[in-house]
Amino acid sequence: MATSENDGGTARGRALVTGITGQDGSYLAELLLARGYDVIGLVRDTEGLGLVGHLDEELLILRGDLLHPASLRAAVELARPTEIYHLAAPSFVPASWERPDDSISAIAGATASLLSTVRDVAPMARVYVAGSGAMFGDAPESPQNEHTPCRPVTPYAIAKLAAHQLVGAMREHYGLHVCSGITFNHESERRPAHFVTRKITRAAAAVSLGFTSELVLGDLRAVRDWSFAGDIVRGAWLMLQHDNADDYVLASGVPHTVADFARAAFACVDLDADRYLRVDPELVRAAERSPSVGDPTKARDVLGWAPEVDFAALVQRMVEADLRALREHGYDDDDEPSPQGGAAGGGYADA
């Protein structure tokens, strides 16, 4: 592992990434390294390198806690970043109901702490904060854009809206170059095991290999706007390359139901999903009055951003990854597969 004393010499810039060990962080780290950055990951003492373990020798790793100001300040002072990407936050929405105080603290509180630190010790750094389309909640329109009124319906979404509004306030009041990426659902073969997309792709792979005979889901009619995580982090990078700090929706703009996702996954292995799907009424949520779909027009027109991996290709790469993992490691209903392989569990992923 590279150490924090390595200044990186001729790098294009110095990027500090919170949440670097997760799905989005891993794709962002790869993108930044390919573009010649020094990449510095901020992790808590108890964390390993997770999904960036394969980049061990190319990263600078600093220990720090977003909710401990002295620790965070020391890390930012040592990193001397030109760009900061704040990705760290809980991402499994149902869990926010169990401890809403923790969700507010980990999302809104951590964002406030980071932006206060930037104001004090790195005011020239450009900052990206990962927001969420979940903040629109029961919005009066769909698709949602940067001006759509927000009516969040979960503690997670409330916290994300607070963080998003704080970005705008700090930008206006202090002149910080800080941007909020309003990201809708984004997936990959690195998505953790407890999200519905990984449950679906692993089931399709498992059924095709004869390991299981059914896939149990909740509401097949739930609508989401799914993109590839690698495309989303490319949008985040483009936001910080623009001279004017602003907020952008990052999404495909194309709605799909959970049933669509399942049918696409099973089609990848030449199977008819309807033969294997079973709905568990206990998993069905109340109907959503406003489909969660983003309008990426502004990002396309201003940043020149557009998804490069479409819905079908996204599902295909996830199924293929699960096929490889199951062939190599076999199948167990109680397994918690590696993030690069299959998945079990449930729950809908919000960005």
Condensed to tens digits (0 to 9), the pLDDT of residues 72-115 reads: 999 999 999 999 999 998 765 666 677 788 889 999 999 999 99
Q: 282: which DSSP letter?
A: G
Alpha helices in the chain (DSSP H): 23-34, 69-79, 100-104, 110-121, 155-174, 196-208, 229-241, 258-267, 297-298, 311-329
User: Quick check: 3 pLDDT over 50?
Assistant: no
Amino acid letter, 220: L
Per-residue pLDDT reduced to its tens digit, 142-199: 999 999 999 999 999 999 999 999 999 999 999 999 999 999 999 999 997 788 999 9
Predicted local confidence at residue 339, as pLDDT? 37
Going from the C-alpha of 222 to that of each of 115, 217, 292, the distances in angstroms are 35, 11, 9
Domain contains 346: no
Q: What's the domain range around 161? A: 14-186+227-250
Specify the pLDDT at position 146.
98
- Confirm whether 268 is domain-assigned: no
* Alpha carbon distance 59, 214 (integer Å): 42
Residue 305 resides in a domain: no
pLDDT at 125: 98
Residue 50 maps to a domain: yes
Tell whether 7 is covered by a domain.
no
Per-residue confidence (pLDDT) for residue 333, from 0 to 100: 67
Residue 74, in any domain of the structure: yes
Phi, psi of 295 (to 5 degrees): -110, 105
Say if 317 falls within a structural domain: no
- The per-residue pLDDT for 335 is 52
The span from the CA of 35 to the CA of 236, in Å, is 14
Overall domain count for the chain? 1
| Contact (Cβ atoms closer than 8 angstroms) between residue 250 and residue 294 | yes
**Position 347 confidence tier, pLDDT thresholds 50, 70, 90:** very low
The CATH number for 125's domain is 3.40.50.720
Q: Is residue 56 part of a domain?
A: yes
